[in-house]
Each structure stands twice: as C-alpha cells, then as structure tokens.
Structure 1
Amino acid sequence: MPIQNVCVYCGSNAGRQPVYTEVAQQLGRALAERDIGLVYGGASVGIMGVVADAVMAAGGRVTGIIPDALMKKELAHLSLTELVVVDSMHQRKTLMAERADGFIAMPGGVGTLEEIFETWTWAQLGFHKKPVGLLNVAGYYDQLAGFLDHTVEESFMQPQHRAMLAIESDPVSLLDRFAAYEPPTVSKWIRAEKL
C-alpha cells in the first residue's frame, strides 16, 4: 500500500538540543518532497509545530487533530491545510490512526511514547498493517531500543514483533523503510471450544 499520509508523534516542547528542531524540519521537508501528508496532534508548540511548519513551508499537506480542551488553551496551529477539533484524546488518537498509512515517533515525552506503543501493539495484534518507527534523533531512543532488545532476550516479546518497530536516525532512511515495508504475517489466535 502506498504511503499517502504519515502520523508523527512528537514533543510539545522543543527539547534541550537544537538538533531536535533541525531534524523535525528535515522530516517535514522530506514528507513534502515525497508528497506525503502529515497527520499530527494539531499544536503550534514544540517540535510538533516545527514539523508542521516545515511541511507547510515546503508546499505539503498537514492535518492537525486536536481536542477541544487544547483549542481552548490556544495551543492549536491555525495555519494548517486542515484542523479537526474533537471531543477527547481517545477520538484524537483514533482519527489520527485512521488517517495515517504509517506512524513515526520523534523525541517526546510520555504522551509520545504512549501513542507509538499503542500503534505498535495494534500492528503486533494484526489490527493494522502499517509501518511503525522511531526517529532516533541524536541517540534519543538508544536506551529504549536496548530495553526492547532485553524484552526479547527475556522472552516477553517475540523477535518478529521487535522487528516490526523500525529505528533510524535519519528521516530519509526511515521514510525509505516505510516505502519498502512488507507487513509480516501475524499468527492467528485459535480459541479452543469445550466439547
């Protein structure tokens, strides 16, 4: 399936190092150059706002999806291709997932981690067949990647499920992996019926 829109989860802060902003701009330009639309949380702040601005500046498409509570805090980006206001965080995440053909987590906090882990879990369970990846800017996710490898070593995760999470430090390399993505075969659960 061709990648038409990618959902990017990332921080509502800019982070400590300028490289986070720089790579967010690179990702935004790369999406626009490939005619891939951005789907994201709709905020104007942090690297969320940076990646959206970069896509728009390069002539790309951006869909922001934001809960009404954050609209009232005046955090919404009002210069997007489309801004969708929803009632709850659950609606926001559902709509973002429906509109995207792949999912990328840039550096961010607990919200970013929760969102990417949820979409990765859905892929493991076969609820979707879309690529999921971490954009590992300046080694931000190195320790997390090591921990995930540890979960495999301790038999809490299957190697094929670990392999479903792409990790790259360069936006172009990650988008190349998404373009070449072949969803793995997910084993089916069989319910044993009582005789």
Structure 2
Amino acid sequence: MTKINTICIYCGSSNAVSEDHLNNASLVGKLAADHNIEIVYGGGRVGSMGRVADGALANNGKVTGIIPEYLQKFEVGHNDVSELVVVDSMHTRKMMMFERSDAFCILPGGLGTLDEFFEMATWKQLGMHDKPIILVNLENFWTPLLDLIKHQIQGGYLRQNPDDIFSVVNSIEEIFSKLTTLPESQIKPDTSLL
C-alpha cells in the first residue's frame, strides 16, 4: 500500500458536543503529527475541526484547511494553520480535500460529516478511488449508521461488502495502526450500479 502522507479528517464544527469527542479530536491531530502525516480538513477553528488542527499544530504537525468563502465570511476559518485555502463553493472544497488526501478519517459529526463520508464511500464503491476510509466509532456514535447499512444490505440495496469500502475502529489510536495494515484496495467499478 502507498505510504500515507496526508489524511483528510471529516468531523463536526460544534462546541456543544461531548468533551470526550473534542479531546479525541485533539488526539487525532497530535498522533497525525507524531506519525508525520499532514492533516487536511475543512478549515474551521471551532468544534472538533478546530481541535484536530490545534492538536496537530501544538505538536509541530502540518495542517491544511480548505474552507468555502461563504464560511470564511463568518470568521470561522482557522487562520493559524499551515495553509488555509479559501475556495468558491462547498463542491470545490470537497473535491480539493479529496485530491489532497491519501486517506479519509470520519470522526463523530453532523450532516456535513455524513455527506462527506457517503460521497467518499460511494466513489470508492464505484471504483473511482482506492484510498482508505476509516470510520471512528467513538462511544458507539456511528453504531446507528452501521445498523442502517446492515438494513440496506438486507433490503438488497447494497450488494458490496462494506468491509471492502471502509474500515471501522473504536479508538483514535487504532486509526494509525489500521493505516499500516490495510491491504491495497481491490475494488473495481461496479458497472451494474450505473
């Protein structure tokens, strides 16, 4: 498998969440810096997003934030990151985050986090990329989502094994050990879905 130089972190931007989740977001940044892996994220300075960036920066890590001009106007951008890229739209932001990342990590978050996870998972299912996707199920936060995916399989809407699309871990430390053990993806485009 290709060495992971950059990891995209998808997560929430709310401060009104579990302090454990915020602390774990800081730990992601710290451990990424310890592993010499650059963080690519949504560019915010609040919630888990801000904590991920601060955790990496406090440990001499490199952090690239990509934020739409619309959100930057609300002064939520993290101006202390290594590079803050202001783009014209959410679509441009997501594409640039994808292009700059070797792997994706999904922490607890809201609708935006789900949107980003589903887009990366769908693209991987269709064979549009073979980058690792790791869903971090802290305190069983994503268990209802995993149950929904099982329901989709039972209903015949998802024929591919989800294990071929994404990995699930239960702690921040597992992210980095998982990245070193994942085999190169064998996913091929599923033309029956087109």
Under TM normalisation by the shorter chain, which class is it?
over 0.9
CA drift at 1:77: 0.2
Give deviations 1:129-164, integer Å, cap 9, x for gaps: 101121111111011111112212222112424542
Which residue of structure 1 aligns with residue 82 of structure 2?
A: 81
TM-score normalised per structure 1: 0.92
Which residue of structure 2 aligns with residue 169 of structure 1?
A: 170
Count of aligned positions: 190
CA distance in 1 between counterparts of 2:69 and 2:32 reads 27
Matched, 1:64 2:65: yes
Which runs of no fewer than 5 residues in structure 1 stay unpaired?
191-195
CA drift at 1:179: 2.4
TM-score normalised per structure 2: 0.92
What is the DSSP-based 3-state SS (H/G/I as helix, E as strand, rest coil) of the residue aligned with 1:8? Answer: strand
Matched, 1:44 2:45: yes
| Superposed CA RMSD | 1.5
What is the DSSP-based 3-state SS (H/G/I as helix, E as strand, rest coil) of the residue aligned with 1:11? Answer: coil
Which residue of structure 1 aligns with residue 104 of structure 2?
A: 103
Rg larger for: 1
Which residue of structure 2 aligns with residue 94 of structure 1?
A: 95
Whether the 8 Å contact between 2:128 and 2:189 is mirrored in structure 1 is: no
How has the CA–CA distance of structure 1 residues 23 and 17 changed in structure 2, closer, same or farther, with 3 Å as cutoff? same
Q: Which amino acid aligns with 1:150?
A: H
How has the CA–CA distance of structure 1 residues 109 and 135 changed in structure 2, closer, same or farther, with 3 Å as cutoff? same
CA drift at 1:15: 4.1
Which residue of structure 2 aligns with residue 193 of structure 1?
A: none
Which runs of no fewer than 5 residues in structure 2 stay unpaired?
none
2:191 to 172, 177, 189: 189
Matched, 1:28 2:43: no
Stretch deviating more after TM superposition (173-182 or 122-131): 173-182
Matched, 1:18 2:25: no
